[in-house]
Structure 1
């Protein structure tokens, strides 16, 4: 049978079904192919990668409108903060959005002046716009810092009054949202940035807060302004000491054979010491005062001599023979003032002081035993542990007077994997696992197609074809053929006219298929025997003779 005959036979078989059955068959086929097509489309959709993350609702709306206008497919996550596009269109989408100035931050900067007209603009509006622009520019710069997700800046610039004696200093408040709640490292940098950007503002006038209400920096007391400074400093010191110990023990034990833990307790109290010292050996003459006095005095007693001359009233008689005395004195007073050498020392300490250190080192006992070899006795192990303890004390600068402690112990490690080994690249198995998604999608499509065909299309076809009429017996009393599984027909002997008749009258293909599906071989054999018992007996005799001869 050639192809044209097969097509003609198929066409006649379909025509024999009728309009209702053909319509039902078409609906079932269309449903199956539609389900398979939709499943293939959704399962084979291209994967999206992140274009921008951490966006607000306004930016997501603007970006979505721009991408839709450009014909670029995009998707938004459930939270509405991330926009995703196809991997091959990421660069194109970013260039397009950059050309349109997206994503645009809610903190507008100096571009506010581009949107303002000079007509009808008062000085008050200009001042408000200037403050808004300054706040927006500062917020943009702060958001560019590492660890800062969002920032809001409030600046207060007092107006200079003509009748004010003292001018109020400008101040600012900054509210930030960080990636980690315990990240306080950017607070001081933000204070310096804001104070330097605004004329006349000091660092003390800048307050930094978080969105959960924690004050990171305020006022001039740095110790009270940053509550997490001590914690961060302790972590830094502990990490540095751990690195020192690791560098010391790594060549000796190996990275995977020991673990280190360092705890540092600091004292960050502010201290001020005033000290004045005098040096008595070192003196300098400050002033000199000299007072010099010289004096002389003479005393004499004049008493006349007893005689006649005393009775003469008009003449003075010379005195002679009286007592005389002389006295002279000289005084010199010298006053020297010396200045003693003094030294005044004022020390203000705002740093930190290590109160004590605690170091714990755990060593893999198996590694120690392997390094000792045959001489691995408990005494040798203890001696080696003491040597390691000495190395740790030297690497961390342990001071016993300060109360520092070091504990070294050797135990059996549960898992011997290296803690800090370099991460190896993905192997062949991991690369195959990365493609699991595509494989699962393909297998899902095939499985869905098979399920729809076997559980949807085939039962529907069986239900439709089961209603087809049974093949009518050929006219002229012709007997039906006995068909084997391989397709070869076993015809009755001596029935040439019936064979010719069966060739002339082609059975209906759908009817033949339906009759075979609806009846068992035993049932068909019984029907053939009932139809012509003589021919059935002849066939059985022929089979028996063939079996004996074989």
Structure 2
């Protein structure tokens, strides 16, 4: 026991870790050394690759379908500003996702990309002595480029090209030709142009070229569809896009008025309104001329008056001209006259009353100085002014001919006694009030034939979950899952290399340590029986009051013998390890 104590107490100093590692590495065979070195190199490569992979930016498209000139200019600017970039297999220019908008703004401030077309900047670098033909060609190219840039500013247009055919001016009026233009549009996927936008492009090109009528402008899209023909077809069919838009504006205006009056009462999502308007776009002119006679004498006014009066002397009947008529007249005698009308015989006529002969009808016939009767004739013509009215009426377009409106009101939400949600119909009195409010808001006119229908029905609940993306399809979640899988894959590869390649090599390099860990639990390892013996000796050497009993020592010796009989190789390795440590 004393010898054991001396041996344990005389331990040599520890080895250098590098020397111990070199000695352990030399224990490996040539094949094991190669496997171990390959495993260590692979592990280092995986760790470095994982670090670089984690630092790799998320690339996004900056621009696509760039021309060679624009691509070279943009790449030069990105290199000057030390902005990382690369090209994809499809030719798109990629930059880190967190710098896409910043780079686009910087490039836009420098006028990039130009889109492979030139504008009026082509005229800025004119050389001295250029011919008139070349100058005209450059002007036409610049005008085409400027028009294409302007058209590309429309939201639905991705790119555009404009071709102008401008004829040479002629001195003969009959031989003068009008210019023509063609516009090729490349629209974004899923985008279209309405009739108003097509008409706007047509008039834009027409107004930019002198003497170019809008009918000579042709507009095409990337599929070859003739867009400029749409407006002409509508015009030929009697459908004007502006009239259709006016109908929609009228309907939307009425719907908005109804919404504004019902929203505070029912809530924005508790009713739906639709209005159909019948608009009269016919334009009529009417001219009417009316006359009204004079009603009272006081209101009469004479325009012209004409009075005609004639008097004729009736000749007395005479005999046949002869001897008697040729005789000289006899002396005059006083004639026997009758009293005037209204007088009695022997009384003179009153002043102012005519003297005449009374005929059989009792009418006094006037007589002349010779006593011959006189016939008179009077004719009076009076023209009165008439009340004349001329009315010229011109009825404007866009009059509302008829309105039809439909309103659906949702049931009210409520809960029952158990707290379960339910819906209830709106009372008839409130529905009547809603009907009256809608009538006033839409301008209901019965004489015009307007109709209104207000119904109360429960709405079907919309499942919003159907519109939401599943968790596994959400782009953010997919990005997180990719990152997690990336690190899990790296960890799995490292674990595989350690278990299959590195750990067996370590067992070969440090066998005593692994064997001791294996048998430490049952007391058969170096820290078990033999460690207990050594420890007991150390304790006995350090403290004289502490003594090892014979029974415990015998039990440990017996266990050591059993372990040596059971696994002699492990015992031999332990003894070799002790001898190597003590020998150094």
TM bin, normalised by shorter chain, reads 0.5 to 0.7
- Is 1:135–2:144 an aligned residue pair? yes
- In 2 relative to 1, CA 239–304 (structure 1 residues): closer, same or farther, beyond 3 Å? closer
Q: CA deviation at 1:45?
A: 1.8
Q: Does 1:527 align with 2:536?
A: no
Distance (whole Å) between structure 1 residues aligned to residue 122 and residue 238 of structure 2: 34
Residue in 2 that maps onto 1:389: 435
Number of the residue aligned with 1:246: 259
Per-residue CA deviations over 1:348-403 (Å, capped at 9, x if unaligned) read 63x47565434232313326999xxxxx997x723222322332333333445435
Distance 1:414 1:482 in 2: 67
TM alignment of 1:374-385, pairs within 5 A: 381-385=427-431
Q: TM-score, normalised by structure 2?
A: 0.60
Retained in 2: the 8 A contact 1:219–1:225? Answer: no
Q: Aligned to 1:366, what secondary structure does the other structure show?
A: strand
C-alpha contact 1:304 1:319 (8 A) present in aligned 2: no
Q: Secondary structure at the match of 1:402?
A: coil
Q: Is the 8 A contact 2:293 2:386 kept in 1?
A: no
Residue of 72, 76, 98 corresponding to 1:66: 76
* Residues 336 and 200 (structure 1), Cα distance of their counterparts in 2 relative to 1, 3 Å cut: farther
1:459 shift after superposition: 0.6
Between 1:217-226 and 1:236-245, the stretch displaced more is 217-226
How far residue 78 of structure 1 moved from its aligned partner, in angstroms, is: 7.3
Deviation at 1:12, TM superposition (A): 0.7
Instruction: Give the corresponding residue for 2:298.
Output: none
**CA root-mean-square deviation:** 5.6
Task: State how far apart, in whole Å, the 2-side matches of 1:266 and 1:105 are.
Answer: 47
Q: Does 1:5 align with 2:51?
A: no
Matched residue, 1:488: 527
Look up the SS of the partner of 1:271 in the other structure. coil
Distance in 1, Cα, partners of 2:96 & 2:175 = 58
Task: Write the distance in 2 (CA, Å) between the matches of 1:226 and 1:135.
Answer: 32
Are the counterparts in 2 of residues 304 and 320 from structure 1 also a CA contact under 8 Å? no
Q: Provide the C-alpha distance between the structure 2 equivalents of 1:362 and 1:495, rounded to a whole number of angstroms.
A: 95
Superposition map of 1:438-449 within 5 A? 440=481, 443-449=484-490
Matches within 5 A, 1:70-89: 70=80, 71-75=82-86, 83-88=94-99
- CA apart distance, 1:46: 1.9
CA contact (8 A) 1:277 1:342 kept: yes
1:361 aligned to which of 395, 398, 408: 408
Q: CA deviation at 1:280?
A: 2.4
State the SS of the aligned residue for 2:287: strand
Task: Give the Å deviation of 1:5.
Answer: 3.3
Deviation of the 1:526 alpha carbon? 1.1
Match of 1:153 among 155, 159, 162: 162
Q: What is the 5 A alignment of 1:320-469? A: 342-347=390-395, 349=397, 351=398, 353=400, 355-366=402-413, 381-399=427-445, 401-411=448-458, 414=461, 440=481, 443-461=484-502
Farther off after superposition, 337-346 or 239-248: 337-346
Give the whole-Å Cα distance in 2 for the aligned partners of 1:59 and 1:458.
55
Would you say the 8 A contact 1:365–1:412 is kept in 2? no
Task: Give the whole-Å Cα distance in 2 for the aligned partners of 1:492 and 1:328.
Answer: 180
* Whole-angstrom CA distance in 1 between matches of 2:323 and 2:17: 203
Kept after mapping to 2: 8 A contact 1:110/1:134: yes
Shift of 1:162: 1.1
Is residue 260 from structure 1 mapped to residue 272 from structure 2 by the alignment? yes
What secondary structure is seen at the aligned counterpart in 1 of 2:409?
strand
| 2:43 partner SS | helix
Aligned to 2:55: 44
Distance between the aligned counterparts of 2:96 and 2:570, measured in 1? 74
* Rounded Cα–Cα distance in structure 2 between residues aligned with 1:187 and 1:406: 38
- Per chain length, whose mean CA-contact separation is higher, i.e. which structure has more relative contact order (CA < 8 Å, sep 6+)? 2
Distance apart, 1:447 and its partner CA: 1.9
Which residues of structure 2 form unaligned runs of 5+?
Answer: 1-11, 295-302, 330-373, 418-422, 465-470, 539-561, 573-584
Which residue number in structure 1 is paired with residue 362 of structure 2?
A: none
Q: CA deviation at 1:230?
A: 6.0
Q: Do residues 16 (structure 1) and 27 (structure 2) align?
A: yes
Q: What is the rounded CA distance, in whole Å, between the counterparts of 2:380 and 2:171 in structure 1?
A: 68
Query: Shift of residue 25 of structure 1?
Result: 1.8
Contact 2:46 2:494 in 1 (8 A): no
Deviations 1:462-502 (A, max 9, x none): 5656888999xxxxxxxx99962486242299999xx9xxx
Cα deviation, residue 96, structure 1: 5.1
SS of match in other structure, 2:455: strand
SS at match of 2:407: strand
Distance 1:303 1:69 in 2: 148
1:224 CA drift (Å): 5.5
Structure 1 residues 304 and 237: alpha-carbon distance in aligned structure 2, compared to 1, 3 A threshold: closer
In the alignment, does 2:192 pair up with 1:181?
Answer: yes
> Secondary structure of 2:40's match?
helix
Partner in structure 1 of residue 369 of structure 2: none
1:260 is displaced (CA, Å) by 1.0
Q: 8 Å contact 1:215–1:226 — kept in the other structure?
A: no
CA displacement at 1:14 relative to structure 2: 1.0
Moved more, 82-91 or 141-150: 82-91
Aligned mates of 1:249, 1:178 — CA distance in 2: 41
The answer to which structure has the higher strand fraction is 1
Residue segments in structure 1 that go unaligned for 5+ positions in a row: 308-316, 371-375, 418-429, 472-479, 500-521, 533-550
